[in-house]
Structure formats: C-alpha cells, structure tokens
Amino acid sequence: MKWEGIILDWAGTTVDFGSMSPVKVFTAIFEEAGIPVTEEEVRGPMGMLKRDHIRTMLAMPRIRSAWETAYGRAPEESDVDRLYGRFEPMLLSVLAEGTDVKPWVPETAAELRRRGYRLGSTTGFNDAMMALVVPSAKAGGYEADFWVSADSAGGHGRPWPYMIFQNMMHFGWSDVRRVLKVGDTVEDIREGQHAGCRTAGIVVGSSVMGLTKAEYDALGGEEKEAACRKAEQVYRDAGADFIIRDIRGLLDLAKAIGMDVKEINASDYNGIVEALRTKKADMAYLGSEGIALANKRMDGNVDVIAMKAPGGDKAKAVYHSVFITRSDRNDINSLEDVKNKKMAFVDPASTSGNLIPTGMIVKAFPNDHLNAEALHVNDGFFQSAIYSGKHQASIQAVAKGDVDVAAVSDQILQSEFDNGNVQKADIKIIASSDPIPSEGMIIRADMDKDLRAKVTDFLLHYDNEDYFTKVIKVKGARFAPASLADYKPIIDLNELLSK
C-alpha cells in the first residue's frame, strides 16, 4: 500500500529509549504519596495523556486498595489533581535536561522524506512538555513535520483519535486507511484503530519492552530475542497491523509497489499453484517441486525472481532432503533399511518431502524396478505410505512413533530442534540428498514489467530479520536473485519420475 502519510509517537518511538522519563516520574509521585507502584503498573497506561494516566493507575484494583488502606477512602478526582500537580513540574525538570533521539531515527526520517513522505506526530505529552522535547530532539537530528498534543484536541488524548485527525487536516490527507500510525504502547495502537488507520508497534526501545538502552545492550543474543518476542506478543494481542523491531522497519512498510498486497494461505502446494494458474494470485513462495509443478501446469507462464539464501548469498541457497527415524530404532540405520516400514512423505508437490526422496529410493533399490506410484501405496514397497501435509507433521509422526521413517527438509528439521518442538537426541538422520535449490518467490510471467521490477527490488532489499526467522524460518536468511533456470534440475527430475 502507498501511504498518504506516517504519524509517529515521540517518547519510546523516536526519542527517549524505553520511555524512561515519564516512568521515573510516575513512580516518584506515587512513592511520595505513600503508595509504591511497580513498573508494570506504571507502564500499563503508557501513551495516554498524563492526567488520564494517573487516573487509570488509581483505578487499578491493587493501587486503589492500597490507597484506601493509606487514606481511609477511595481515590478521588482531587487526588488526580494533586498527583498531577507534582507530576508536571517534575517531568518538565527531567525533560529540561534533554531528550536523547533513539538510534537510526534521523537517518530513517531523512530517507522517508527523500521518498516523499511527510511525518506527522501525536504524543502523550502536553504543549509545555513538547516545548522542551521538540528542540532537544531537533538538536539530536530529528524533527517531525508536524506535532500535536491533546491540548490542541480539546483535552482528548489517546485512545481518542482526534490528534490523528488534526494531523490529517494539517497535511490534507483524505483517507485514514492510507495513514500509518506508529508507536511504542498499546494506547498508540488503540489510537490508530479508533481513527481507522493502520498501526505499527515498535519493539526495541519501546515502553512495551521497558528496558533502558544500557539494559538492552547488555543482554545476550538469546535474551534480546526473548525480550523482543515478549513485546511483539503484546502488540499482537492489541491487534497491531504491523510489528517492526526498530524505526528502520518503516522503510520496509513505506516501500510502495503502488497497490494493496493481500496474503492468501492455501492448504497445500496444489492450491497455491491453482491460485496462480487462475490468476487469483500474482506471486507465491514455493519449494523447488512446487515451482516445477507450477511451470508444468501453467505451460511455462511462470518465472522466479528471488530465492531464499543464508545472508543473501546465492552460493549457499541450497538445502537437503533427509530421511529420519527415531534414535532408538536400531533396525533402521540407512536407506537400505526402509523397505517394509511405515513411511511419511509430506506433500505430492514437496521437493524435499516427496520428489527428491522418491528419486533416492528408486535409485537405492534398482532391482525392485520402482516408480513413483509404487512408493505411495500401502502394502507395497512400504508397509504403509502417507502424506502428512507438513514437514513439521512428519517430524512429529516420527517422534511419536506413528511412522517409522519420514523424508523432510533439513532446514525445517533444524528449526524444529531450535524451537524445542522435538528433541534432537530423539531423532537420527539415516540418509541425506544432494543439494536442492532453496525455496523461491515465483510470479506469473505476464506480470506488468514495472510492477515486476518494483516487487523484485523490494524482495532483494528486504532486511527484516523477524520475518526471515519467524515466517521463512531460517535465521539470517535473505532473498537473492534467481530465475527459473536455477530450478531446471528439479524440473527435469519431475518430468522423469512422472513418466
């Protein structure tokens, strides 16, 4: 989607890593009042107008109960006034010391402007606070094109949508569906939802994550990943449309191809190919056998524009089909031991889960004069043969003893180990294939040339590690240039086995 504009939050999003300034002051004013509060309680309403934030905290059951114990009555509006009377001067004093701009914000803002975007903003601060934040941020290299606080929206802060509407009026943006609201709190997401915008939550340095820069930098790789995953789940639960690790993720979201992109999930490879053939889909991410199948069914009206590769290195864009069994199966140690066993393939159109292992078995048993059909029936070469539908399902079937042997992708097997879905000690590999070209992104060959160029450029420059780790399921992978010729060996093998 081509955005009309982008609206950013301030603390925790573009400045003040971790949104620590207001957290410290909220904690201090409640401490002064004799009501110690936890950081979790403080951060719950983050993003709201500060007076509303205090009111929301006082309504929390534990804090309300503690207040009643300390003062012999429930909190009143006069208590909100008293606490806010301490909060504002304390926060102004903190803000007067300067506000650090978050990493990569100036560079990202400059690139977005280079692409023609204007940057609006909303905030939980009031005008007096912003009078300190704005010049400090400018000195640090960041400046929004427009900012508005609840003071200019009738006192209606988040989650009310009126500050977003003020931005739209200022810039002349006409369609809320083409405005992206970006923030670091649940209230930012709610603000965007109430306005009808698309929303994006920033993970690193956010209030949702709740870590200072020093605390975050001190974490190990696995600890950082765990902290990020925890924050991401908060945004998912809030219904955010997009989740980005840091401000640079906006460059992915803002890289327009001039039209909406809709994701279609099919139950199997055949469904994906059929969607391409009937023009219900323009592009698809498929394994080698799926690409060979699409090429055959669409009479060559397909092309490959990118393929998965570790670090974007095409020379490493290969994986393997592996035969696996349980580690305690002492009777199964090589390919020669699979005859008369219970076998799990993945899908008829799976490269590593069907095509390649079928060819390997045919080659391993020349005297049996096998063909593809003979390997996929019960009480034939195998005692039983099934299609599990997914590599993960085949792996689990082996682990549980439902089948004796399965053929799967070595990369997906490793991912299952890494994610703790199966124990590595419980599985052994008894055979491995020659290298197979990695999964690729294919398009219909009749796609508009300009659109093809934009999509290809987007994929080859896409650098969102979260996407490659969680969706592609290979940490450190990127897309590398590719063409249909890279898959010719698989296409030829497919033709041979189908005879």
3-state secondary structure the chain: CCCCEEEECCECCCECHHHHHHHHHHHHHHHHCCCCCCHHHHHCCCCCCHHHHHHHHHCCHHHHHHHHHHHCCCCCHHHHHHHHHHHHHHHHHHHCCCCCECCCHHHHHHHHHHCCCCEEEECCCCHHHHHHHHHHHHHCCCCCCCCECHHHCCCCCCCCCHHHHHHHHHHCCCCHHHEEEEECCHHHHHHHHHHCCEEEEECCCCCCCCCCHHHHHCCCHHHHHHHHHHHHHHHHHHCCCEEECCCCHHHHHHCCCCCCCCCCCCCCHHHHHHHHHCCCCCEEEECHHHHHHHHHHCCCCEEEEEEEEECCCHHHCEECEEEEEECCCCCCCCHHHCCCCEEEECCCCCHHHHHHHHHHHHHHCHHHCCCCHHHHCCCCCCCEEEECCCHHHHHHHHHHCCCCEEEEEHHHHHHHHHCCCCCHHHEEEEEECCCEECCEEEEECCCCHHHHHHHHHHHHCCCCHHHHHHCCCCCCEEEEECCHHHHHHHHHHHHHHCC
Catalytic residue among 9, 184, 404, 410: 9
Report the C-alpha dihedral over residues 328, 330, 331, 336, rounded to 10 degrees.
Answer: 100
Q: Look up 50 and say whether it is catalytic.
A: yes
CA distances from 453 to 1, 255, 312, 343 (A): 16, 13, 18, 43
Catalytic residue among 50, 102, 308, 341: 50
Q: Look up 368 and say whether it is catalytic.
A: no
CB 351 within 8 A of CB 436: yes
Q: Which of 320, 387, 385, 389 is nearest to 356 (CA)?
A: 320
Q: What is the spatial distance between Cα 411 and Cα 391, in angstroms, rounded to a whole number?
A: 10
Strands 318-319 and 384-387, sheet pairing: unpaired
Whose tokens are 């006034």? That residue is 81
| Catalytic residue annotation | 9, 50
